[in-house]
Amino acid sequence: MNQTVNMKVRLGSLELRNPVLTASGTFAAGREYSDFIDLSTLGAVVTKGVSLHPWAGNASPRIAETASGMLNSIGLQNPGVEAFCAGDLLWLATQDVPVIVNVSGHSVEEYVAVARRLESEPTVSALEVNISCPNVDEGGMAFGTSCPAAAEVTRAVRAVTSKPLIVKLSPNVTDITEIARAVEAEGADAVSLINTLLGMAIDTRTFRPKLARAVGGLSGPAIKPVAVRMVWQVASAVQIPVVGMGGIMTADDAVEFMLAGATAVAVGTANFVDPTTTSSVAQGLEAFCRERSIQSVAELTGAVRL
Amino acid sequence: MTCADETARDRALLERVSVLSNDRVAEGVGLIVLQSPRVARSVRPGQFVHLRVAEGRDFVLRRPFSVHAAHGDRLEILYQVLGVGTRALSLSGRGDEMDVIGPLGHGWEIPDTLSHALLVCGGLGAAPMGMLATELAARGVAVSVAQGAPTAPRLVARDLFADAARRHEIATDDGSAGHHGFVTALVEPLLAGDSPDVVYVCGPEVMQRIVAAQASAAGVPCQVSLERLMGCGIGACLSCVVSTVHGQKRACVDGPVFNANEVLWESAEIPPKH
């Protein structure tokens, strides 16, 4: 029972020491969480979305709790790529963990400009292109809900980056496998899914939406079955690795995503509930394998018995 | 005090705590006492804790609460039952365990030269004023308290304020105790009569905004403790932003206490609860 488990996984050319990542937007750049966990226990830190210029985000209230989950409409508030490189990225360079930067844009040109700026930063191990944020008026999800637009963004960013390229997909589509195939065809090294499900909640005392922007993205345990289903569908449809996420609170949840076909997983909303979740999911995943004499965590990927 | 220096900030702790007592202390208001040695010993006036009230999955987020008082290992939290989280909290009892993250946030600034402070609170705005009043009194600062509530049975912490304050004035909306009307009516006479060096305010945002204007007109510096819906509580999720003259600040780490003259006040709405 003392055998070591090989926890390494690969996303394209990026090797990770274990499959547990942070979901963009739930972990900032990790500094706040370093009070609670050792970041080197994670597969990678995926940063909050970074755009070319500073974005102010949406009006408040920006969150609303719902049954087994929450809605958010933060709106990708961020200081822009220059401030990111001069601040959070410098701090991340001192940490022993791969850094995946989430790239956001209002236009193809903006995604390209951010990717170009990050190309010369050795601290950046990979890019995650966010074509699935439901909380911005232009760009964001609009690029992730049509095959030609998703393909165009992927092609344009692929042309300017040599780093591993992950494309983050929206669940707010009729058939997510079409989008996954479209970005695979344009050179994406991996896809990550799911971003949040578009949702709404209304305060019955005031008759007003609970979010200032009326609609927002649903996350948390409430969405996990939808996410597992989509990971399974996408993993069956593409050759590139899938990063699975949506409501992971425990190692057992992570195992479920891997069985459905995920090569790696990301912890999101759970970071707000327990800031040590990422680290405990990584430990729990290793224990799960050890207890079953599974030599490599990668054996779990797609191992669902149908 | 515009924003807490990231490099100088205290390390937040995650601590497993047990409930020592949980009692109703005013109409709709409970006081829960937690055995929380590490947080209780490091918390400063105006800071808060982020409490994981229950570990079910039907509601997932933590709830932020101001620390009302800290004595040795014991942390006292005043709460009003408003939604599923505070209802669950009200049902917990001696021996129950939960976990807290804390101490969090940028609390009240207490200038070294302070000799006279005016504390203005409305409703549960009294919660973060408890530790402040006690600390100020211990430092020999003359404390005046103006406290408002809808009705006399909903006034909280009266004994604490009576002990710590040289002057304790009350207003109730229905006139069942003290001045008949809003607490804001007490502020101008106290500003003129006591000449405080600083005004500390917590309560409904519209009331904080009025008191901030009254203090400003009197030329007295004013600090406000603002409430926002919070996600992580540690500065990562950007849910609890406050618009200030220095841009968007996070209530959880840059606040909850802000200099009133920095705040760009939002439209006067009842803040949502969860």
Average pLDDT in the A8-13 region?
97
Nearest chain B residue to A271 by CA: give it: B232
Put simply, the chain A residues between 52 and 91 with a CB less than 8 A from any chain B CB are 56-57, 60-65, 67-70, 72, 74, 77
Residue type, B258: F
Q: What percent of chain B has pLDDT over 90?
A: 86
Residue type, A277: T
Radius of gyration of chain A (CA): 18
For A181-190, letters b (16+ CB in 10 Å) and e give bbbbebbbbb
Specify the range with the lowest mean pLDDT, choosing from A74-78, A95-99, B11-15, B264-268.
B264-268
pLDDT at B26 over 80: yes
Q: How far is CA A292 from CA A8, A295, A297, in A?
A: 17, 9, 11
Residues with Cβ within 8 Å of A35's Cβ and at least 6 positions away in sequence, in order, are A275, B11, B12, B234
Instruction: For residues B152 and B96, state if they share a domain.
Output: no
Domain boundary among B53, B84, B104: B104
The reply to whether B81 touches chain A by the CB within 8 Å rule is no
Task: Please report residues of A whose CB lies closer than 8 A to that of B101.
Answer: 275
Query: Helix, strand, or coil here: B148?
Result: strand
**pLDDT at position A139:** 67
**Nearest-CB residue to A70 (from B61, B238, B270):** B61
Specify the range with the lowest mean pLDDT, choosing from A165-179, B96-110, B179-193, B256-270.
B256-270
Instruction: For residues B24 and B52, state if they share a domain.
Output: yes
Nearest chain B residue to A55 by CA: give it: B248
Q: How confident is the model at residue A149 (pLDDT cuts 50, 70, 90)?
A: very high
Q: How confident is the model at residue A141 (pLDDT cuts 50, 70, 90)?
A: confident
**pLDDT at position A103:** 97
Instruction: For residues B130 and B246, state if they share a domain.
Output: yes
pLDDT at B11 over 90: no
Asked if residue B227 lies in contact with residue B194, where contact means CB atoms within 8 angstroms, the answer is no
Instruction: For residues B121 and B250, state if they share a domain.
Output: yes
Instruction: For residues B178 and B98, state if they share a domain.
Output: no
The residues of A assigned a catalytic role are: 133
Instruction: For residues B130 and B258, state if they share a domain.
Output: yes
pLDDT at B259 over 80: yes
Inter-chain residue contact B238 with A249, CB threshold 8 Å: no
pLDDT at B80 over 90: yes
Average pLDDT in the A122-134 region?
93
ipTM higher than the 0.90 cut: yes
Average pLDDT in the A192-210 region?
96
Q: Tell me how crowded residue A306 is: count the other CB atoms within 10 A of its CB.
A: 3
Structural domain boundaries enclosing B158: 116-262
CA distance A253 to chain B (A): 13
**pLDDT at position A142:** 80
**pLDDT at position B272:** 52
**CATH for B29:** 2.40.30.10
Average pLDDT in the A218-233 region?
98
Q: How many CB pairs under 8 A join A and B?
A: 101
Specify the range with the lowest mean pLDDT, choosing from A1-10, A150-159, A171-180.
A1-10
The reply to whether B58 touches chain A by the CB within 8 Å rule is yes
Interface test with B, best of A60, A253, A279 (most B CBs within 10 A): A60
Interface test with A, best of B49, B60, B234 (most A CBs within 10 A): B60
Q: In what helix (H) or strand (E) does residue B91 lie, and over which residues does it extend?
A: helix B84-91
Look-up of token digits 């950007």:
B238
Calculate the average pLDDT of chain A.
96
Asked whether residue B1 is domain-assigned, the answer is no
**pLDDT at position B148:** 96
Specify the range with the lowest mean pLDDT, choosing from A13-17, A78-82, B54-58.
B54-58
> CA angle, A74 as apex, A73 and A78 as ends, to 5°?
150
Instruction: For residues B129 and B258, state if they share a domain.
Output: yes
The C-alpha atoms of residue A15 and residue A51 are separated, in whole angstroms, by: 26
Nearest chain B residue to A49 by CA: give it: B237
Instruction: For residues B153 and B56, state if they share a domain.
Output: no
Q: How confident is the model at residue A132 (pLDDT cuts 50, 70, 90)?
A: confident
**Nearest-CB residue to B59 (from A57, A65, A249):** A65
* Domains of chain A in sequence order: 9-56+76-197+220-300 (3.20.20.70)
Domain boundary among B49, B77, B104: B104
The reply to whether B274 touches chain A by the CB within 8 Å rule is yes
The reply to whether B52 touches chain A by the CB within 8 Å rule is yes
Q: What percent of chain B has pLDDT over 70?
A: 92
pLDDT tens, position by position, A38-86: 999 999 999 999 999 999 999 999 999 999 999 999 999 999 999 999 9
Residue type, A58: N
**pLDDT at position B3:** 40
Asked whether residue B267 is domain-assigned, the answer is no
Asked whether residue B152 is domain-assigned, the answer is yes
Instruction: For residues B96 and B154, state if they share a domain.
Output: no
Q: In what helix (H) or strand (E) does residue B191 lie, and over which residues does it extend?
A: helix B184-194
**pLDDT at position B6:** 42
pLDDT at A196 over 60: yes
**Nearest-CB residue to A26 (from B6, B237, B271):** B237
Q: What percent of chain A has pLDDT over 70?
A: 98
Inter-chain residue contact B235 with A32, CB threshold 8 Å: yes
The C-alpha atoms of residue B125 and residue A244 are separated, in whole angstroms, by: 43
Calculate the average pLDDT of chain B.
91
The larger pLDDT score, comparing residue A33 to residue B272, is at A33
**pLDDT at position B4:** 40
Task: Please report residues of B whose CB lies closer than 8 A to that of A206.
Answer: 270
Question: How many structural domains does chain B have?
Answer: 2
Average pLDDT in the A92-116 region?
96
CA distance B189 to chain A (A): 35
CA distance A114 to chain B (A): 22
Q: How confident is the model at residue A254 (pLDDT cuts 50, 70, 90)?
A: very high
- Which DSSP state fits B217? H
Domain boundary among B83, B104, B125: B104
Instruction: For residues B204 and B133, state if they share a domain.
Output: yes
Average pLDDT in the B9-33 region?
91
**CATH for B130:** 3.40.50.80
Cα-Cα end-to-end distance for chain B: 29
Instruction: For residues B96 and B227, state if they share a domain.
Output: no
Per-residue 3-state assignment (H helix, E strand, C coil) for chain A: CCCCCECCEEECCEEECCCEEECCCCCCCCCHHHHCCCHHHCCEEECCCECCCCECCCCCCCEEEECCEEEECCCCCECCHHHHHHCHHHHHHCCCCCEEEEECCCCHHHHHHHHHHHHCCCCEEEEEEECCCCCCCCCCHHHHCCHHHHHHHHHHHHCCCCCCEEEECCCCCCCHHHHHHHHHHCCCCEEEECCCEEEECEECCCCEECCCCCEEEEECHHHHHHHHHHHHHHHHHCCCCEEEECCCCCHHHHHHHHHHCCCEEEECCHHHHCCCHHHHHHHHHHHHHHHCCCCEHHHHCCCCCC
Beta bridge partners of B66: B48
Instruction: For residues B158 and B257, state if they share a domain.
Output: yes
